[in-house]
Amino acid sequence: MLRTLFTAFLRVACFFIVISSGHILAQDPPVPLVDRARGSERVVVGRVTAVNPVWQTNEFGDRLIVSIVSVAVDETLRGPAQGAVDVEVEGGTIGELTLHVSDLESFTPGDRGVFYLKRGSRGLLVPHLRGQGLLKLDRSDRVRGSNFTLADVRREARRVQ
Amino acid sequence: MTKTTTLALLAMIPAIGLVLSQDTSAYTTNGATWAQLPVPYSINTTNLDLPESAVEPAVIAGADTWATQSSAAVSLSYTGSSAQTTTGYDGLNLVVFRNASSGSAIATTYYWSSGNRLLDADIVFWDAAFRFFSGSTGCSGGFYIEDIAAHEFGHALGMGHSAVAGATMYPSTSSCNANNRSLDADDIAGILFLYPARTGVPGQIRNVRVVGS
């Protein structure tokens, strides 16, 4: 009986995590946290230590500002443990010119977040599922603009191990 | 109702509470606006799903949402089709359908600013990952261009995402949703913040001064 109830609760909770996780994203269908983790080479929790914007031309021929976001890793939820990672994220500011990308978070040093990462075409780490792979955390470890917490992220990532 | 069902429903309450306790903050902007209006844009109508003749009116309808459904002093002007496929800070505001996917995004807006001025904006529909439809009927497992364009042109005008479910600028959508083409009060408040109401709007009389002879 208890087991049935617990299973029912888990199903309902997972449903709401999936629904609410769409909240922070660009206009797209939300991907469940567990699936974000499953498709990632690495999932890390960390704090941004530096943001270095550069001009880059992507595989489509778009000339864009891309930021190399350096992250000091506090916790590795998936993949090899490493003290720091560099993540390539479209958007950023060079001089007085800023590129905003609607489906991606922008980061500044001191920001804390969860980073679902995969290897990009240039060999650098990029957010898996773009905006759905970048979750900013507030001081109480809630994912900004959403209804879920770092504990939810951890739990869903563990399901993939 | 069985005891098991009742208990299962009770177990749902904390999860429902998560949703109900969501952040109620509304529209966001980065404060930047276009200095010159109307904002011109072109469309590369090449796509995988629709006749090119159907794409143009659908995108235009999405773009016009902001000017026609609010009194904001904002306007966009379609300047014709374009064969260009690349985006960037090049002075051309382009809507393009790309035979590629990008994570789970349906479309992405790249917009450029300096200080409080928007300078360039391009919209990419990720055509390989999603099927696009036009109009308001017939959609199945895809997305109407009108609704996606309305959201993306909101970004192109300086709007960020809104936490109000049902707003055009709400970050998530579901397939065949045809509600984003209708602005929510929150969207209207946001666009009016960026582009305050035009003077001379019917029903508004401002700064009237009666001078005696």
**d(C-alpha B171, C-alpha B159), whole Å:** 11
Would you state the pLDDT for residue A27?
A: 55
Minimum CA–CA partner of B25 in chain A: A145
pLDDT at A19 over 70: no
Look at A24 and B171 and tell me if their CB atoms are within 8 Å: yes
Any idea what the Cα angle at residue A75 is, between residues A70 and A77, rounded to 5°?
A: 105
CA–CA distances in Å: residue B68 to residues A32, B25, B73, B76, B79: 36, 25, 10, 11, 18
pLDDT digits (tens, 9 = 90+) for A137-157: 999 999 987 888 999 999 999
**d(C-alpha B91, C-alpha B78), whole Å:** 14
Length in residues, chain B: 213
CA–CA distances in Å: residue B78 to residues B44, B59, B145: 12, 10, 16
Would you state the pLDDT for residue B102?
A: 85
Would you state the pLDDT for residue A26?
A: 42
Minimum CA–CA partner of A99 in chain B: B112
Partners of B30 on chain A (C-beta within 8 Å) are: 100
What are A121's two structure tokens?
């075409």
What pLDDT band is residue A29 in, cutting at 50, 70 and 90?
low
**d(C-alpha B35, C-alpha B30), whole Å:** 15
Please, which residues have CB within 8 angstroms of residue B29's CB and are 6 or more apart in sequence?
B158, B159, B160, B190, B193, B194
What are B10's two structure tokens?
């009770």
What pLDDT band is residue A30 in, cutting at 50, 70 and 90?
confident
Look at B8 and A128 and tell me if their CB atoms are within 8 Å: no
Domain A2-158 listed as CATH 2.40.50.120:
yes
For residue A54, the Cα-to-chain-centroid distance in whole angstroms is 21
**d(C-alpha B29, C-alpha B26), whole Å:** 10
Would you state the pLDDT for residue B206?
A: 41
Domains in chain B with CATH codes: 33-194 (3.40.390.10)
Q: Which of A33-37, A97-101, B79-83 has the lowest average pLDDT?
A: A33-37
Query: What's the rounded mean pLDDT across residues A134-138?
Result: 95
What is the rounded end-to-end Cα distance, in angstroms, of chain A? 28
Measure A118 CA to nearest chain B CA, in Å: 11
The pairing of strands A125-127 and A112-119 is antiparallel
Would you state the pLDDT for residue A28?
A: 57
Partners of B148 on chain A (C-beta within 8 Å) are: 27
Listed by number, the residues of chain B in 143-182 with a beta carbon closer than 8 Å to a beta carbon of chain A are 148, 151-152, 155, 161, 163, 171-175
**d(C-alpha A18, C-alpha A25), whole Å:** 12
pLDDT at A74 over 60: yes
ipTM: 0.82
Minimum CA–CA partner of B149 in chain A: A27
**d(C-alpha B11, C-alpha A140), whole Å:** 25
DSSP secondary structure letter of residue B164: S
Minimum CA–CA partner of A16 in chain B: B15
CB atoms within 10 A of CB A81: 9
Would you state the pLDDT for residue A136?
A: 95
Query: What is the residue-wise DSSP string for A47-104?
Result: EEEEEEEEEEE-TTS-EEEEEEEEEEEEEEEES---SEEEEEEE-EEETTEEEEETTS
What are A139's two structure tokens?
């001081």
Beta carbons of A129 and A34 less than 8 angstroms apart: no
Look at A27 and B106 and tell me if their CB atoms are within 8 Å: yes
The amino acid at B95: V
Look at B30 and A100 and tell me if their CB atoms are within 8 Å: yes
Taking every pair of Cα atoms in chain B, the longest distance, rounded to a whole number of angstroms, is 84
Minimum CA–CA partner of A57 in chain B: B88
Q: Which of B193, B183, B168, B180 is nearest to B74 (CA)?
A: B193
Residue A122 or B13, more confident: A122
Q: Does B22 lie at the interface with A, CB-CB under 8 angstroms?
A: yes
Look at B171 and A26 and tell me if their CB atoms are within 8 Å: yes
Per cent of chain B over pLDDT 90 is 75
Where chain B has pLDDT below 70, the residues are: 1-25, 200-213
pTM of the model: 0.82
pLDDT digits (tens, 9 = 90+) for B128-138: 999 999 999 99
Would you state the pLDDT for residue B103?
A: 81
The amino acid at A114: V
Q: Please give the sequence-ordered ranges of beta strands (E in DSSP) within B141-183, or none if there are none.
A: 143-144
Partners of A62 on chain B (C-beta within 8 Å) are: 86-88, 110
Measure B197 CA to nearest chain A CA, in Å: 25
Would you state the pLDDT for residue B104?
A: 82
**d(C-alpha A117, C-alpha A128), whole Å:** 5
Using the CB atoms, write b or e for A63-72: b if 16+ within 10 Å: ebbbbbbbbe
B156: left (phi over 0), alpha (psi -120 to 50) or beta: alpha
Instruction: Please name the residue that has the structure tokens 């990952």.
Output: B129
Beta carbons of A51 and A67 less than 8 angstroms apart: yes
Look at A27 and B107 and tell me if their CB atoms are within 8 Å: yes
Would you state the pLDDT for residue B213?
A: 33
